Amino acid sequence: MDAANESSEGSPFILLGLTTNPSQRRPLFLLFLVLYVAGILGNGLIVAAIRASPALHAPMYFLLTHLSFADLCFTSVTVPKMLANLLAHDRSISLAGCLTQMYFFFALGVTDSCLLAAMAYDRYVAIRHPLHYATRMSRAVCTALVGMAWLVSHAHSLLHILLMARLSFCASHQVPHFFCDHQPLLRLSCSDTQHIQLLIFTEGAAVVVTPFLLILASYGAITAAVLQLPSAAGRLRAVSTCGSHLAVVGLFYGTVIAVYFWPTSRYEAERGRVATVMYTVVTPMLNPVIYSLRNRDVQGALRALFTRRRISAGDS
């Protein structure tokens, strides 16, 4: 084993975090703690309410359960470590820990991407082909879509991690980020990273850009359909719903594309950190509000869930 590899295995990485200014760490800790708890509670309640309610077993809610579960796990891969590092003096992470964090981060992020595309397709079929909805979105089809999302995402992540594990890090081990991510680590490597960058722009684009284009196409067709509704109030409500969905989708994919689909030589650490916060913290927190909490059926299921809890607590 060469000296470079010995150095990379023996020296931990130092996550510099969101800021190096000590006076900003506590306010940032409180801010992101609130955002994290809100996201965990929102997504956790959606999963619990849908699983507990017999009325919420439609394909849309089946997909939504998996999206909320993926979001819950996605934020938990990076945010707890970021919060701990904002208060701790030791912000180190081993190479094995770094690769493990990257594996689950990539896998869950791509799962999110695929599930968002599946949900857009579900709404497209429901609005454009309502007579065929039961067959096109049967339980078998939904299970296949979800299974494919999890399978593709883990295959994608495993491929990237196997390549990242072969790199040597013989320069500084200070990572200008709050978690182990592709771009800042590639900048620290003294190995040839062209093959990894090529993979990002090809296979990576396939699992990110393709679902994004499918979502845009689905919502474009949905918007065209709802504009033909006879009721002006119905059109306004439907367009408002589509607009809020597309706003969150655009925030998620826009920031992902801004971070990953640039050459490593042009990567800017500060811009990367800000963009990463958007799709690791903000959009997982917004998804329950946009897709669920404005839904009357979900609101009813949540009320029933809390009512049962109060009754069971009173009986105990």
pLDDT of residue 7: 42
In a domain, 5, yes or no: no
pLDDT of residue 188: 86
Question: Which band of pLDDT confidence, cut at 50, 70 and 90, is reported for residue 266?
Answer: confident
- The count of structural domains within the chain is 1
Rounded to whole angstroms, the Cα distance separating 213 from 219 reads: 10
| pLDDT > 60? residue 274 | yes
* Nearest CA-CA partner of 68 in 289, 309, 308: 289
Percent of the chain at pLDDT exceeding 70: 93
pTM: 0.88
* Nearest CA-CA partner of 135 in 121, 125, 120, 144: 125
In a domain, 2, yes or no: no
In a domain, 6, yes or no: no
In a domain, 316, yes or no: no
Model pLDDT for residues 107-123, shown as the tens digit of each residue: 999 999 999 999 999 98
Check which CATH number belongs to the domain holding 240 and give it: 1.20.1070.10
- Average pLDDT value for the chain: 86
Residue 140: domain span: 29-307
Model pLDDT for residues 225-260, shown as the tens digit of each residue: 877 877 777 777 777 778 888 888 999 999 998 888
Torsion-angle region of 17 (φ positive above 0: left; ψ -120 to 50: alpha; else: beta): left
In a domain, 97, yes or no: yes
In a domain, 14, yes or no: no
Rounded to whole angstroms, the Cα distance separating 175 from 220 reads: 40
In a domain, 314, yes or no: no
Which tokens in the block code for residue 119? 């949900």
Rounded to whole angstroms, the Cα distance separating 26 from 12 reads: 25
Quick one: average pLDDT of 178-190?
88
In a domain, 56, yes or no: yes
Residue, of 217 and 269, whose pLDDT is higher: 217
